[in-house]
DNA sequence: AGGCTCTCTCTTTTT
DNA sequence: GAGAGAGCCT
């Protein structure tokens, strides 16, 4: 009778699926069937342990993971799992806040601020309060606020020091929160923090959900941040059954607040958990796994070792490209080979550390007639025109939404200039009013010039009449009419460019999206629901999976995916590990985990490529192979060098170079020698400490008296002997 | 208001 | 080198 659940599961997976323990930790290595265990466990609980789906809460990080989990569970159960709560932390928090908006001290029609909205709001606040945005750049302020919220800290929880920088940040945080509250706006971090406070401060609400959710399952636990952990801890009582699944080796989001330590902490907070390691890998060949194991072994970790019952497979190919163009051509050639041997493009992924790397690869694939698709990047609901249209809708729902007001008051232009707006802002601020309230008041007073007054009045009337005329329409008709009345399309038509044309198409697509949207089991109005959906689930709908394309994406976005053939590109110091991560041990270890994630994406064949010269930030620089390459045992790697035709001028150099770059070469170069004092037109006098490279690409390291240590390309540096 | 030039910076990304 | 943003000019 267990066949249904246990078919195709190994012993440890079976153990995890059917564990009767109250607290279960599944340490699931890459490709070890983690999602399968999670979905089977839900089905198991539901059917074998008679746990009602209503009592189960499953938490993930992305909408995609949540959707996939739901569909796989329903497939196992054979019926739709109504009542089962599966969602992202943010999605679930949002749901709770909507249901208990009063206790959460929110307005019923509160709207969600995305990162871009948040950034703009902060920028406006800095300006309005005359805060120097070179000292406190909006990006940093935003990071500070989100970071504090992720730690569960309000402005009042932070202490002032003698440090003016810090104190100002706290003040801005305070100002920002006041502005959000006044406009009924909730940012992403606020969703989590506000929900935490809701549960903490309302025992009736907390008790209700504590009793309801007898079973809580959390995926990707290594990605939880402080507030998410605290939220779970609130929700889980002594009798709650908890299953957490995670992999400390795949924690790659520390930079946005994720705390790997939460896995270790969990073992202290919940005594005697059952710990099951899933180490059998069903994805990759032995060689690939051994490489991954060898690399990750250099980290501090709980310790797992992936193994496979399959064969060793091909060795990993390491290609030392001459430069990034050569690297891209090599990849294109290997893709051609693969496809000629009956492989197809959709089996292939090209991974890179940073998005900037994709350009050369794209150009090369284009030239080689290889269809590709770049993942990540712009999302539909983040496009400017879509956000404009949505801002009109937000104003319909809530006139006090200052962020929306700012966005569309003069979009498309209707003669409301900067001076009118700044007067409006000043008045609103001094009277503690929203911009809408201030505008209504001042227009009535005929406060502005006749022209400005008129223009503002037109805008106010427009919004009001939008609301009246759309009141009884269906969601898509509502949005259609709002777009029409906003004259956004007319403005783009006038512009007439290709870009403007695409924007019009996107607006049409927005209406389509609205027509397809339905919020069955929610007490929100369709418009509230749609607006929240647009912010919270803005991506994902990347269809066209059936096209036979090579996948291009960052290492980060490759997590959770697998491909028969994988190219990991730009495996060079400075780039990977990224220069900004290589000094700090914690961050370096995260880079190494990223490398581990990258390697374990490959099922059959893995190529690692690096370029000896790469154009980065506009400069062509000599690059060393990544330290991660050295961490892979030699016997797993086949090293390939560029064909001599490509690298002729530098061939001797490349042959000479070992993977471990030799410390310092004592040779003379271009008439200079180590220890020599030279002069540079800009940097002044300095002493030559080192050389790198040969011929016209020779780089020289100089310790300048005034400006410190620098690497220069000798041929261009214009050095003169002193 | 809109377009132009100059300057500056330069990961990773989901919600 | 490229894109974003600020500031300036028309």
The values of phi and psi at residue A241, to 5°, are -90, 125
- Range scoring the smallest mean pLDDT among A347-351, A592-596, A674-678: A674-678
What's the confidence (pLDDT) of residue A44?
Answer: 92
- Answer yes or no: are the C-beta atoms of A693 and A699 closer than 8 Å: yes
- Answer yes or no: are the C-beta atoms of A425 and A128 closer than 8 Å: yes
Q: Dump strand ranges (E) for A166-306.
A: 185-187, 215-218, 241-246, 274-278
* pLDDT at A698 exceeding the cut of 50: yes
How far is the C-alpha of A399 from the C-alpha of A111, rounded, in Å? 11
What's the confidence (pLDDT) of residue A463?
Answer: 96
* Residue range A14-23, pLDDT digits in tens: 999 999 999 9
- Answer yes or no: are the C-beta atoms of A232 and A57 closer than 8 Å: no
Comparison of pLDDT for A640 and A539, the residue scoring more? A640
How far is the C-alpha of A625 from the C-alpha of A609, rounded, in Å? 9
A701 is catalytic: no
A250 is catalytic: yes
What's the confidence (pLDDT) of residue A707?
Answer: 63
Rounded CA–C1' distance between A721 and B11, in angstroms: 39
Summarize the confidence of residues A181-209 as an average pLDDT. Answer: 96
> Residue A421: which nucleotide is closest by CA–C1'?
B1
Q: What Rg value do the Cα atoms of chain A yield, rounded?
A: 29
Query: Confidence band (pLDDT; 50, 70, 90) for A223?
Result: very high
Nearest residue for C1, CA–C1': A618
What's the confidence (pLDDT) of residue A8?
Answer: 79
- Range scoring the smallest mean pLDDT among A40-49, A374-383, A685-694: A685-694
A220 is catalytic: yes
**Cα–Cα distances in Å, from A259 out to A65, A187, A228, A568?**
20, 21, 10, 26
A337 is catalytic: no
Sign of the dihedral defined by the CA atoms of residues A336, A340, A346, A352, in that order: negative
Per the structure block, which two tokens stand in for A46? 């539901």
* pLDDT at A396 exceeding the cut of 50: yes
Q: Which of A409, A408, A404 lies closest to A424, judged by CA? A: A409
> Residue A254: which nucleotide is closest by CA–C1'?
B12
**Cα–Cα distances in Å, from A563 out to A535, A552, A602?**
30, 12, 5
- Range scoring the smallest mean pLDDT among A434-438, A492-496, A565-569: A492-496
Using CA atoms of A452, A456, A461, A462 in order, give the dihedral in degrees to the nearest 10: 110
Of the candidates A219, A385, A388, A537, the residue annotated as catalytic is: A219
What's the confidence (pLDDT) of residue A194?
Answer: 97
Q: Dump strand ranges (E) for A237-315.
A: 241-246, 274-278
What's the confidence (pLDDT) of residue A665?
Answer: 34
Of the candidates A14, A22, A35, A464, the residue annotated as catalytic is: A35
**Cα–Cα distances in Å, from A575 out to A49, A172, A567?**
50, 34, 16
In the numeric block, the tokens 């790659």 are attached to A252
What's the confidence (pLDDT) of residue A66?
Answer: 92
* pLDDT at A432 exceeding the cut of 70: yes
Rounded CA–C1' distance between A553 and C3, in angstroms: 20
Rounded CA–C1' distance between A617 and B5, in angstroms: 21
What's the confidence (pLDDT) of residue A161?
Answer: 85
* pLDDT at A102 exceeding the cut of 90: yes
Helix (H) or strand (E) holding A613: strand A602-616
Comparison of pLDDT for A182 and A499, the residue scoring more? A182
Summarize the confidence of residues A156-168 as an average pLDDT. Answer: 88
- Answer yes or no: are the C-beta atoms of A400 and A185 closer than 8 Å: no
Those nucleotides of strand C lying less than 7 Å from any protein Cβ are 1-2, 6
A34 is catalytic: yes
Rounded CA–C1' distance between A62 and B15, in angstroms: 8
What's the confidence (pLDDT) of residue A196?
Answer: 97
Rounded CA–C1' distance between A341 and B15, in angstroms: 41
DSSP letter at A430 equals H
Strands A637-640 and A619-622: unpaired
Residue percentage of chain A with pLDDT more than 70:
89
Per-residue buried b or exposed e for A305-334, using 16+ beta carbons within 10 Å of the residue's own CB: ebebeeeebebbbbbbbbbbbbbbbbbbeb
Query: Confidence band (pLDDT; 50, 70, 90) for A496?
Result: confident
How far is the C-alpha of A414 from the C-alpha of A447, rounded, in Å? 18
Highest mean predicted confidence (pLDDT) among A338-342, A425-429, A642-646: A338-342
What's the confidence (pLDDT) of residue A650?
Answer: 34
* pLDDT at A598 exceeding the cut of 50: yes
Query: Confidence band (pLDDT; 50, 70, 90) for A582?
Result: confident
Those nucleotides of strand B lying less than 7 Å from any protein Cβ are 1-2, 9-15
Summarize the confidence of residues A29-33 as an average pLDDT. Answer: 93
What's the confidence (pLDDT) of residue A643?
Answer: 52
How far is the C-alpha of A442 from the C-alpha of A674, rounded, in Å? 73
What's the confidence (pLDDT) of residue A619?
Answer: 83
Rounded CA–C1' distance between A498 and B3, in angstroms: 19
Any atom of strand C under 7 A from CB of A123?
yes
* pLDDT at A498 exceeding the cut of 70: yes
* Residue range A544-579, pLDDT digits in tens: 556 899 999 999 999 999 999 999 999 999 999 998
Of the candidates A34, A149, A345, A399, the residue annotated as catalytic is: A34
What's the confidence (pLDDT) of residue A668?
Answer: 43
* pLDDT at A656 exceeding the cut of 60: no
How far is the C-alpha of A629 from the C-alpha of A648, rounded, in Å? 25
Comparison of pLDDT for A394 and A688, the residue scoring more? A394
Summarize the confidence of residues A354-383 as an average pLDDT. Answer: 89
Any atom of strand C under 7 A from CB of A499?
no
What's the confidence (pLDDT) of residue A588?
Answer: 93
- Range scoring the smallest mean pLDDT among A157-161, A386-390, A616-620: A616-620
Report chain A's terminal Cα–Cα distance, integer Å.
88
Rounded CA–C1' distance between A591 and B10, in angstroms: 19
* pLDDT at A695 exceeding the cut of 60: no
* pLDDT at A647 exceeding the cut of 50: no
Residue A472 neighbours by CB under 8 Å, 6+ apart: none
Summarize the confidence of residues A706-716 as an average pLDDT. Answer: 65
Rounded CA–C1' distance between A374 and C6, in angstroms: 32
The pTM score is 0.84
Highest mean predicted confidence (pLDDT) among A151-160, A380-389, A694-703: A151-160
Nearest residue for B2, CA–C1': A413
Summarize the confidence of residues A397-417 as an average pLDDT. Answer: 90
CA angle A526, A530, A535 (to 5 degrees): 155
Per-residue buried b or exposed e for A267-295, using 16+ beta carbons within 10 Å of the residue's own CB: eeebeebeebbbbbbbbbbbbbbbbbbbb
* pLDDT at A651 exceeding the cut of 50: no
Rounded CA–C1' distance between A700 and B6, in angstroms: 31
**Cα–Cα distances in Å, from A419 out to A448, A452, A569?**
10, 10, 50
Residues with CB under 7 A from strand B: A 61-64, 88, 90-91, 114-115, 188-189, 255-256, 353-356, 376, 410, 413-418, 536-540, 553-554, 556-557, 578, 580-581, 587, 591, 617-618
Residues 605-644, chain A: which have Cβ under 7 A from strand C?
615, 617-618
- Answer yes or no: are the C-beta atoms of A213 and A235 closer than 8 Å: yes
Any atom of strand C under 7 A from CB of A124?
no
How far is the C-alpha of A360 from the C-alpha of A567, rounded, in Å? 14
* Residue range A110-143, pLDDT digits in tens: 999 998 899 999 988 888 888 888 888 888 899 9
Of the candidates A117, A150, A190, A220, the residue annotated as catalytic is: A220
Query: Confidence band (pLDDT; 50, 70, 90) for A495?
Result: confident
The values of phi and psi at residue A11, to 5°, are -60, -50
Mean pLDDT of chain A: 87
* Residue range A255-309, pLDDT digits in tens: 888 999 999 899 999 988 999 999 999 999 999 999 999 999 999 888 889 999 9
Summarize the confidence of residues A23-51 as an average pLDDT. Answer: 92
How big is chain A, counted in residues? 722
Comparison of pLDDT for A660 and A181, the residue scoring more? A181
* pLDDT at A423 exceeding the cut of 90: no
How far is the C-alpha of A332 from the C-alpha of A368, rounded, in Å? 7
Rounded CA–C1' distance between A487 and C10, in angstroms: 27
Nearest residue for B10, CA–C1': A617
Nearest residue for B9, CA–C1': A617
Residue A109 neighbours by CB under 8 Å, 6+ apart: A184, A397, A398, A525, A528
Residue A395 neighbours by CB under 8 Å, 6+ apart: A401, A404, A405, A408, A436, A463
Query: Confidence band (pLDDT; 50, 70, 90) for A415?
Result: confident
What's the confidence (pLDDT) of residue A394?
Answer: 94
């Amino acid at each position: 009778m267990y066949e249904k659940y246990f078919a195709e599961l190994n012993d440890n997976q079976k153990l995890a699926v059917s564990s009767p323990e109250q607290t279960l930790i599944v340490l699931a290595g890459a490709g070890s069937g983690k999602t399968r265990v999670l979905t089977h466990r839900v089905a198991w609980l539901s059917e074998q342990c008679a746990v009602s789906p209503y009592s189960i809460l499953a938490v993930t990080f992305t909408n995609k993971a949540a959707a996939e989990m739901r569909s796989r569970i329903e497939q196992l159960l054979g019926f739709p799992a109504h009542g089962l709560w599966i969602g992202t932390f943010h999605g679930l928090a949002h749901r709770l806040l909507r249901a208990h908006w009063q206790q959460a001290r929110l307005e019923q029609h509160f709207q969600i601020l995305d990162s871009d909205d948040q950034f703009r709001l902060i920028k406006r606040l800095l300006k309005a309060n005359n805060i120097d945005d070179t000292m406190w750049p909006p990006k940093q302020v935003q990071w500070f606020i989100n970071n504090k919220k992720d730690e569960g800290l309000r402005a009042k929880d932070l202490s002032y020091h003698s440090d003016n920088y810090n104190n100002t940040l706290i003040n801005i945080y305070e100002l920002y929160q006041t502005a959000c509250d006044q406009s009924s706006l909730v940012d992403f971090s606020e969703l989590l923090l506000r929900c935490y406070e809701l549960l903490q401060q309302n025992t009736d609400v907390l008790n209700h959900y504590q009793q309801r959710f007898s079973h809580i399952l959390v995926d990707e636990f290594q990605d939880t941040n402080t507030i998410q952990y605290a939220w779970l801890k609130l929700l889980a009582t002594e009798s709650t059954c908890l299953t957490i699944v995670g992999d400390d080796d795949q924690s790659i989001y520390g930079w946005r607040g994720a705390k790997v330590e939460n896995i270790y902490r969990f073992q202290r907070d919940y005594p005697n958990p059952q710990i099951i390691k899933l180490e059998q890998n069903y994805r990759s060949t032995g060689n690939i796994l051994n490489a991954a194991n060898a690399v990750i072994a250099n980290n501090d970790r709980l310790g797992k070792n992936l193994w496979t019952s399959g064969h060793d497979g091909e060795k990993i190919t390491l290609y030392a490209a001459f430069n990034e163009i050569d690297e891209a051509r090599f990849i294109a050639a290997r893709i051609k080979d693969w496809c000629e041997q009956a492989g197809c493009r959709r089996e292939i992924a090209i991974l890179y550390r940073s998005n900037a790397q994709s350009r050369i690869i794209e150009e090369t694939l284009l030239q080689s007639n290889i269809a590709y698709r770049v993942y990540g990047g712009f999302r539909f609901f983040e496009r400017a025109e879509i956000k404009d249209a949505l801002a009109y809708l937000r104003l319909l729902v809530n006139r006090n939404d200052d962020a929306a007001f700012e966005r569309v008051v003069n979009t498309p232009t209707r003669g409301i200039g900067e001076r009118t707006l700044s007067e409006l802002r000043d008045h609103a601020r001094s009277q503690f009013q929203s911009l809408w309230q201030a505008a209504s008041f001042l227009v009535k007073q005929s406060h502005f010039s006749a022209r400005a007054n008129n223009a503002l009045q037109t805008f106010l009337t427009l919004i009001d009449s939008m609301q009246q005329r759309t009141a009884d329409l269906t969601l898509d008709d509502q949005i259609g009419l709002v777009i029409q009345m906003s004259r956004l399309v007319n403005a783009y038509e006038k512009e007439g460019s290709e870009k403007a044309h695409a924007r019009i198409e996107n607006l049409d697509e927005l209406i389509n999206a609205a027509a397809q949207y339905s919020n069955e089991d929610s007490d929100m109005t369709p418009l509230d629901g749609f607006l929240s959906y647009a912010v919270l689930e803005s991506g994902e709908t990347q269809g066209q999976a059936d096209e036979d394309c090579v996948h291009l994406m960052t290492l980060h976005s490759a997590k959770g995916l697998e491909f028969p053939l994988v190219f990991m590109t730009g495996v060079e110091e400075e780039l990977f590990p990224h220069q900004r991560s290589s000094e700090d041990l914690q961050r370096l270890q995260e880079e190494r985990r990223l490398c581990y994630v990258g390697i374990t994406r490959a099922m059959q064949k893995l190529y690692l490529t690096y370029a000896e010269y790469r154009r980065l930030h506009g400069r062509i620089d000599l690059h060393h192979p990544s330290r991660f390459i050295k961490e892979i045992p030699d016997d797993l790697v086949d090293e390939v060098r560029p064909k001599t035709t490509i690298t002729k001028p530098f061939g001797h150099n490349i042959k000479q170079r070992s993977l471990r770059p030799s410390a310092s070469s004592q040779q003379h170069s271009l008439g200079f020698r180590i220890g020599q004092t030279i002069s540079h037109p800009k940097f002044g006098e300095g002493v030559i400490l080192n050389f790198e490279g040969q011929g016209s690409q020779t780089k020289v390291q100089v310790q300048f008296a005034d400006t410190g240590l620098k690497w220069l390309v000798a041929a261009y540096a214009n050095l003169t002997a002193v």
